[in-house]
Amino acid sequence: MCLEIALSPGINLFYGMNGQGKTNILESVEILSTTRSDRAFKEAELVNHNEESALVSGRFLKNSLDFDISVNYYKNRKKTCVKNGKNTTADSIFGSVNIVKFFPKDAEIITGAPANRRRYADMEISLTDRAYYTNYKNYIKLIESRNAVLKQMSELQERDFKYGELMDLIESYDELLPDAAYGVYRGRLDFLKEIALYADRTHRSISSNREKLDILYHCSVNENTDKSMNLTENLFKQRLIFLLKKNLKNDIIRKLTTVGPHKDDIEFLINGTPAKNFGSTGQIKTLAVSLKLAQIDYVFNKTGDYPVLLIDDMTSEFDAERLFNIIKSISADMQVLISSTDNEIFKTAFGGQGINYFKVSGGAVVNN
């Protein structure tokens, strides 16, 4: 099945009953930006069970640039990426088009495991900061390599000759980790400091000025009771080196590295109260959207361009007041893709003007 859609530069609303394919359209734009989908555990899952491959292609006009991106997924081999007709890597495509997306499961950024919050920050920073993206990947590779050695050591006795060789490897990784780890820590701190300002302003607007939002970063390297206190570069590195040595025996037993940015967490407070534990469903949904809308300002500040905004299943997630405030906060200068089961609320909010409507039914899309 082949589907081709011409989008307007403003708001594009895809509406229809659930299960008709609206989310797939938004997911395609995500793939063209990041070469991956958060909804698929394995890339092969993106291929229809009756097909051997799946192709997502898009043409983009960005300032004076005109370029094409294609990502082809296969059932039995790795994906291939093409930019302007030439084969390329996923890394070279990553971030070519900046997006900000809100899907219903993004509320898990607040309510889910710490890994969800770290992933949120790392992805958003990486889309606009190539140096951070490169350093983050290097840090993760170092941690994965160290963990692999720890696993081998857990299966040996200290007197074994190979144990000593592996210890030398651990020491070499521990020499490299502080610089890479500090880059991740500093990048996240700077991002959260900036995003907190935008998100609080947005959150106040959506909640009709009833709720204040604060964001805290909890660093596993920090020895202070208050884990949100910032560390200087020297102190961070000294603490990490000390803890890597101190925790080594425990790391060997657990077969993983127990300290570093990959173990940090982010906390969101609404009116001074932890949202994860005490926020209502409505508050958490609003907080998640506030973070995503704040990302618009962050991307614009970093790049000078507005990102493409993707909002999935919007009308089922919010009450009328909050939904209206969200819709009104969207800039007229942005390209937006929204999926919804209801198109009437958008006609009311925008007076029927400025929206490109697409009816989606059974995978078919009609522009009306």
**Using one digit for the tens of pLDDT, what is the confidence trace for 134-154?**
999 999 999 999 999 999 999
Residue among 358, 320, 352 nearest 338 (CA): 358
**What does the pLDDT read at residue 337?**
93
**What does the pLDDT read at residue 43?**
84
The total number of structural domains that make up the chain: 1
Q: Is residue 263 part of a domain?
A: yes
What are the φ and ψ backbone dihedral angles of 39, each rounded to 5 degrees? -85, -20
The identity of residue 252, as a single letter, is: I
Whether 326 and 350 have beta carbons less than 8 Å apart is answered as: no
Question: Which strands sit side by side in the sheet containing 11-15, from one edge to the other?
Answer: 99-102, 308-311, 336-340, 11-15, 355-361, 364-367
What are the φ and ψ backbone dihedral angles of 133, each rounded to 5 degrees? -55, -45
By residue range, what is the domain housing residue 186?
112-303
Q: Is residue 71 part of a domain?
A: no
**What does the pLDDT read at residue 225?**
58
The identity of residue 16, as a single letter, is: G
| Nearest-10 crossing angle of helices 130-154, 161-206 | 140
**What does the pLDDT read at residue 331?**
72
Contact partners, residue 319, CB within 8 Å, separation at least 6? 282
**What does the pLDDT read at residue 269?**
96
- In three-state secondary structure terms, 214 is strand
Q: Is residue 149 part of a domain?
A: yes
Q: Is residue 57 part of a domain?
A: no
Angle at 231 between CA 230 and CA 235, to 5 degrees: 170
Sign of the C-alpha dihedral computed for residues 136, 142, 145 and 149 taken in this order: negative
Residue among 351, 277, 274, 284 nearest 322 (CA): 284
Which pair of tokens denotes residue 97? 């088009």
Distance of CA 337 to the CA centre of its chain: 17
The CA–CA distances, whole Å, from 287 to 159, 236, 367 equal 54, 30, 32
Which pair of tokens denotes residue 234? 């020297």
Q: Is residue 288 part of a domain?
A: yes
Q: Is residue 355 part of a domain?
A: no
**What does the pLDDT read at residue 320?**
63
Q: Is residue 296 part of a domain?
A: yes
Stretches in the chain below the pLDDT threshold 70: 1, 224-228, 314-325, 349-353
Q: Is residue 140 part of a domain?
A: yes
Residue among 65, 40, 6 nearest 337 (CA): 6
**What does the pLDDT read at residue 315?**
67
The identity of residue 145, as a single letter, is: S
What CATH number is associated with residue 278?
1.20.1050.90
